[in-house]
Amino acid sequence: MLSPEQKAQFYKDGYLVLPSFFSSDKAQQLLAEARKLLSEVDLSSHPKTRFSTGDSQVSDDFFLTSGDKIRAFFEEDAFDPNGQLNRPKEQAINKIGHALHELNPIYRQFTLENNDLKTLAKELDYHKDPAVLQSMVICKQPSSNTNQVPTHDDSTFLYTDPPSALGFWFALEQCTKSNGCLSFARGSHKRNTISKRFVRLPQGGTGFEKLGSDAAGIDWEKEGDWVVEECEPGALVLIDGAVIHRSEKNLSDKSRFIYTCQYV
Protein backbone atom coordinates (compact mmCIF):
# COMPACT_ATOMS: atom_id res chain seq x y z
CA MET A 1 0.00 0.00 0.00
CA LEU A 2 2.95 2.33 0.58
CA SER A 3 5.50 3.29 -2.02
CA PRO A 4 9.23 3.07 -1.22
CA GLU A 5 9.26 6.87 -1.14
CA GLN A 6 6.45 7.00 1.43
CA LYS A 7 8.16 4.45 3.64
CA ALA A 8 11.40 6.41 3.45
CA GLN A 9 9.52 9.58 4.39
CA PHE A 10 7.97 7.88 7.41
CA TYR A 11 11.30 6.54 8.64
CA LYS A 12 12.94 9.93 8.09
CA ASP A 13 10.27 12.13 9.70
CA GLY A 14 8.63 9.76 12.20
CA TYR A 15 5.18 10.34 10.72
CA LEU A 16 3.43 10.27 7.36
CA VAL A 17 0.32 12.06 6.10
CA LEU A 18 -1.82 10.09 3.64
CA PRO A 19 -4.43 12.47 2.16
CA SER A 20 -7.76 10.98 1.03
CA PHE A 21 -7.01 7.62 2.66
CA PHE A 22 -10.73 7.11 3.24
CA SER A 23 -13.75 8.72 1.62
CA SER A 24 -15.56 11.86 2.72
CA ASP A 25 -18.72 9.74 3.03
CA LYS A 26 -16.95 7.43 5.50
CA ALA A 27 -15.65 10.46 7.42
CA GLN A 28 -19.22 11.75 7.68
CA GLN A 29 -20.46 8.35 8.88
CA LEU A 30 -17.80 8.17 11.60
CA LEU A 31 -18.47 11.77 12.60
CA ALA A 32 -22.22 11.19 12.80
CA GLU A 33 -21.65 8.12 14.99
CA ALA A 34 -19.39 10.14 17.30
CA ARG A 35 -22.03 12.84 17.67
CA LYS A 36 -24.63 10.14 18.38
CA LEU A 37 -22.44 8.77 21.16
CA LEU A 38 -22.13 12.28 22.63
CA SER A 39 -25.90 12.70 22.62
CA GLU A 40 -26.33 9.40 24.48
CA VAL A 41 -24.12 10.32 27.45
CA ASP A 42 -26.20 9.98 30.63
CA LEU A 43 -25.34 12.86 32.94
CA SER A 44 -27.33 11.36 35.81
CA SER A 45 -24.91 8.44 36.17
CA HIS A 46 -21.69 10.04 34.92
CA PRO A 47 -19.01 10.72 37.58
CA LYS A 48 -18.05 13.94 35.74
CA THR A 49 -14.56 12.69 35.05
CA ARG A 50 -12.49 15.29 33.24
CA PHE A 51 -9.65 14.42 30.90
CA SER A 52 -6.32 16.23 31.29
CA THR A 53 -3.30 16.03 29.02
CA GLY A 54 -1.08 18.12 31.28
CA ASP A 55 0.90 17.18 34.37
CA SER A 56 -2.27 16.20 36.25
CA GLN A 57 -3.13 12.89 34.60
CA VAL A 58 -6.53 11.26 35.01
CA SER A 59 -6.38 8.51 37.61
CA ASP A 60 -9.91 7.72 38.79
CA ASP A 61 -11.48 4.27 38.30
CA PHE A 62 -13.90 5.51 35.63
CA PHE A 63 -10.90 6.31 33.43
CA LEU A 64 -8.62 3.44 34.45
CA THR A 65 -11.28 0.78 33.79
CA SER A 66 -12.28 2.15 30.37
CA GLY A 67 -9.96 -0.08 28.33
CA ASP A 68 -12.77 -2.46 27.42
CA LYS A 69 -15.62 0.06 27.49
CA ILE A 70 -16.91 3.14 25.67
CA ARG A 71 -16.88 6.14 27.99
CA ALA A 72 -16.94 9.92 27.59
CA PHE A 73 -14.54 12.28 29.37
CA PHE A 74 -15.25 15.97 29.82
CA GLU A 75 -13.11 19.03 29.20
CA GLU A 76 -11.31 20.33 32.29
CA ASP A 77 -13.41 23.49 32.39
CA ALA A 78 -16.77 21.88 31.56
CA PHE A 79 -18.34 22.36 35.01
CA ASP A 80 -19.02 25.41 37.14
CA PRO A 81 -18.06 25.59 40.86
CA ASN A 82 -21.38 23.93 41.72
CA GLY A 83 -20.64 20.93 39.53
CA GLN A 84 -23.12 21.90 36.83
CA LEU A 85 -22.27 21.81 33.12
CA ASN A 86 -21.59 25.28 31.80
CA ARG A 87 -22.51 24.37 28.23
CA PRO A 88 -24.41 21.62 26.38
CA LYS A 89 -22.85 18.20 26.99
CA GLU A 90 -22.22 17.70 23.25
CA GLN A 91 -19.88 20.72 23.41
CA ALA A 92 -18.27 19.84 26.73
CA ILE A 93 -16.77 16.38 26.09
CA ASN A 94 -13.07 16.08 25.30
CA LYS A 95 -12.97 12.48 24.10
CA ILE A 96 -14.75 9.13 23.90
CA GLY A 97 -12.71 5.96 24.50
CA HIS A 98 -11.16 3.46 24.70
CA ALA A 99 -12.73 0.36 23.08
CA LEU A 100 -14.65 1.88 20.19
CA HIS A 101 -12.85 -0.52 17.86
CA GLU A 102 -14.31 -3.51 19.70
CA LEU A 103 -17.73 -2.43 20.94
CA ASN A 104 -19.13 0.04 18.42
CA PRO A 105 -20.23 -1.59 15.14
CA ILE A 106 -19.33 1.41 12.97
CA TYR A 107 -15.85 1.87 14.43
CA ARG A 108 -15.24 -1.88 14.68
CA GLN A 109 -15.90 -2.30 10.96
CA PHE A 110 -13.62 0.62 10.15
CA THR A 111 -10.80 -0.60 12.40
CA LEU A 112 -10.75 -4.36 12.96
CA GLU A 113 -12.53 -5.46 9.79
CA ASN A 114 -10.42 -3.17 7.63
CA ASN A 115 -7.39 -5.18 6.49
CA ASP A 116 -5.80 -2.04 5.05
CA LEU A 117 -4.84 -0.83 8.52
CA LYS A 118 -3.10 -4.04 9.56
CA THR A 119 -1.41 -4.19 6.15
CA LEU A 120 -0.03 -0.69 6.67
CA ALA A 121 1.34 -1.62 10.08
CA LYS A 122 3.02 -4.70 8.63
CA GLU A 123 4.49 -2.74 5.72
CA LEU A 124 6.17 -0.40 8.21
CA ASP A 125 7.82 -3.44 9.84
CA TYR A 126 6.25 -2.82 13.23
CA HIS A 127 4.87 -6.31 13.72
CA LYS A 128 4.18 -9.59 12.05
CA ASP A 129 0.86 -9.53 13.90
CA PRO A 130 -0.01 -5.94 14.95
CA ALA A 131 -2.85 -5.58 17.46
CA VAL A 132 -5.03 -2.59 18.35
CA LEU A 133 -4.50 -1.55 21.97
CA GLN A 134 -6.99 1.32 22.25
CA SER A 135 -9.17 3.67 20.23
CA MET A 136 -10.88 7.00 20.82
CA VAL A 137 -12.60 9.98 19.27
CA ILE A 138 -10.96 13.26 20.27
CA CYS A 139 -13.44 16.09 19.95
CA LYS A 140 -11.44 19.38 20.15
CA GLN A 141 -14.49 21.42 20.99
CA PRO A 142 -14.72 24.94 19.50
CA SER A 143 -13.50 27.95 21.49
CA SER A 144 -12.19 25.75 24.29
CA ASN A 145 -9.37 26.96 26.48
CA THR A 146 -8.34 23.53 27.80
CA ASN A 147 -7.99 21.15 24.86
CA GLN A 148 -4.35 21.79 24.07
CA VAL A 149 -2.22 18.63 23.90
CA PRO A 150 1.34 19.43 25.04
CA THR A 151 4.57 18.14 23.57
CA HIS A 152 4.78 14.36 24.06
CA ASP A 153 5.49 10.97 22.52
CA ASP A 154 3.01 8.08 22.49
CA SER A 155 5.36 5.31 23.63
CA THR A 156 5.59 6.82 27.12
CA PHE A 157 1.86 6.16 27.55
CA LEU A 158 1.58 3.02 25.39
CA TYR A 159 4.80 1.36 26.46
CA THR A 160 6.06 -2.01 25.28
CA ASP A 161 9.56 -3.50 25.52
CA PRO A 162 10.95 -2.85 23.01
CA PRO A 163 8.82 0.21 22.15
CA SER A 164 6.38 -0.59 19.33
CA ALA A 165 3.48 1.89 19.42
CA LEU A 166 2.17 3.00 16.04
CA GLY A 167 -0.62 5.56 15.86
CA PHE A 168 -3.34 5.80 13.22
CA TRP A 169 -4.93 9.29 13.31
CA PHE A 170 -7.96 9.85 11.07
CA ALA A 171 -9.31 13.33 10.29
CA LEU A 172 -13.12 13.37 10.45
CA GLU A 173 -13.26 17.14 9.95
CA GLN A 174 -10.96 19.76 8.50
CA CYS A 175 -7.90 20.17 10.74
CA THR A 176 -6.30 23.63 10.60
CA LYS A 177 -3.95 25.82 12.60
CA SER A 178 -6.91 27.66 14.09
CA ASN A 179 -8.77 24.58 15.36
CA GLY A 180 -5.84 22.55 16.66
CA CYS A 181 -4.23 20.43 13.95
CA LEU A 182 -1.16 18.31 14.69
CA SER A 183 2.41 19.61 14.77
CA PHE A 184 5.47 17.34 14.67
CA ALA A 185 9.09 17.73 15.68
CA ARG A 186 10.20 16.19 12.41
CA GLY A 187 12.78 13.42 12.85
CA SER A 188 12.64 13.58 16.65
CA HIS A 189 12.03 9.82 16.92
CA LYS A 190 15.70 9.30 16.01
CA ARG A 191 16.93 11.38 18.97
CA ASN A 192 14.17 10.76 21.49
CA THR A 193 14.76 8.29 24.32
CA ILE A 194 11.75 6.67 26.00
CA SER A 195 12.97 7.30 29.54
CA LYS A 196 9.73 6.72 31.49
CA ARG A 197 6.40 4.99 31.19
CA PHE A 198 2.92 5.80 32.45
CA VAL A 199 1.85 3.28 35.13
CA ARG A 200 -0.73 2.56 37.77
CA LEU A 201 0.77 3.11 41.23
CA PRO A 202 0.54 0.42 43.95
CA GLN A 203 -1.08 2.91 46.32
CA GLY A 204 -3.63 3.93 43.69
CA GLY A 205 -3.71 6.52 40.97
CA THR A 206 -1.15 6.90 38.21
CA GLY A 207 2.37 8.16 37.75
CA PHE A 208 5.54 7.64 35.74
CA GLU A 209 8.12 4.90 36.19
CA LYS A 210 11.69 5.76 35.28
CA LEU A 211 13.31 3.56 32.62
CA GLY A 212 17.08 3.51 32.98
CA SER A 213 18.86 6.83 32.69
CA ASP A 214 17.11 10.08 31.88
CA ALA A 215 16.93 11.29 28.31
CA ALA A 216 19.50 13.77 27.11
CA GLY A 217 17.29 16.64 28.23
CA ILE A 218 16.40 17.91 24.79
CA ASP A 219 14.18 20.98 24.87
CA TRP A 220 11.93 20.04 21.96
CA GLU A 221 10.09 23.34 22.09
CA LYS A 222 13.32 25.11 21.16
CA GLU A 223 15.28 22.44 19.31
CA GLY A 224 12.54 20.57 17.48
CA ASP A 225 12.17 20.96 13.71
CA TRP A 226 8.47 21.71 14.07
CA VAL A 227 6.11 21.23 11.14
CA VAL A 228 2.39 22.06 11.22
CA GLU A 229 0.29 19.48 9.36
CA GLU A 230 -3.12 20.74 8.28
CA CYS A 231 -5.33 18.13 6.62
CA GLU A 232 -8.78 17.52 5.18
CA PRO A 233 -11.44 14.97 6.22
CA GLY A 234 -10.39 11.51 5.01
CA ALA A 235 -6.69 11.98 5.75
CA LEU A 236 -4.72 9.42 7.76
CA VAL A 237 -1.62 10.37 9.73
CA LEU A 238 0.70 7.51 10.71
CA ILE A 239 2.62 8.30 13.90
CA ASP A 240 5.74 6.57 15.21
CA GLY A 241 5.50 6.02 18.97
CA ALA A 242 8.74 7.92 19.60
CA VAL A 243 8.12 11.02 17.47
CA ILE A 244 7.48 14.21 19.44
CA HIS A 245 4.21 15.95 18.58
CA ARG A 246 1.49 18.22 19.96
CA SER A 247 -1.69 20.10 19.08
CA GLU A 248 -2.78 23.59 20.08
CA LYS A 249 -6.03 24.81 21.61
CA ASN A 250 -9.05 25.10 19.36
CA LEU A 251 -9.67 28.84 19.40
CA SER A 252 -11.97 28.79 16.37
CA ASP A 253 -15.74 28.41 16.18
CA LYS A 254 -15.41 25.03 14.42
CA SER A 255 -14.89 21.64 16.05
CA ARG A 256 -12.02 19.32 15.14
CA PHE A 257 -13.17 15.71 15.52
CA ILE A 258 -10.67 12.94 14.82
CA TYR A 259 -10.63 9.18 15.39
CA THR A 260 -7.44 7.49 16.48
CA CYS A 261 -6.32 3.96 17.30
CA GLN A 262 -2.92 2.68 18.39
CA TYR A 263 -1.29 -0.57 17.36
CA VAL A 264 1.38 -2.40 19.37
- Span 104-109, average pLDDT: 98
CATH number at residue 197: 2.60.120.620
The pLDDT value given to residue 256:
97
The pLDDT value given to residue 56:
53
Q: What does the pLDDT look like over 35-94, one tens digit per residue?
A: 999 999 999 999 999 987 765 566 788 999 999 999 999 998 999 999 899 999 999 999
What confidence tier does 191 reach under pLDDT thresholds 50, 70, 90?
very high
pTM of the predicted model as reported, rounded to 2 decimal places: 0.95
- Span 256-264, average pLDDT: 97
Structural domains of the chain, count: 1
Cα separations (Å) of 45 from 96, 135, 200, 254? Answer: 16, 23, 25, 29
- Span 164-172, average pLDDT: 97
Residue burial 52-76, b: 16+ Cβ < 10 Å; e: rest: ebeeeebeeeebeebeeebbbbbbb
- Span 243-254, average pLDDT: 95
Structural domain of 97? 4-263
The pLDDT value given to residue 138:
97
The pLDDT value given to residue 220:
94
The pLDDT value given to residue 52:
79
Q: What does the pLDDT look like over 13-42, one tens digit per residue?
A: 999 999 999 999 999 999 999 999 999 999
Question: Given a cut of 70, is residue 216 above it in pLDDT?
Answer: no
Average pLDDT, the chain: 93
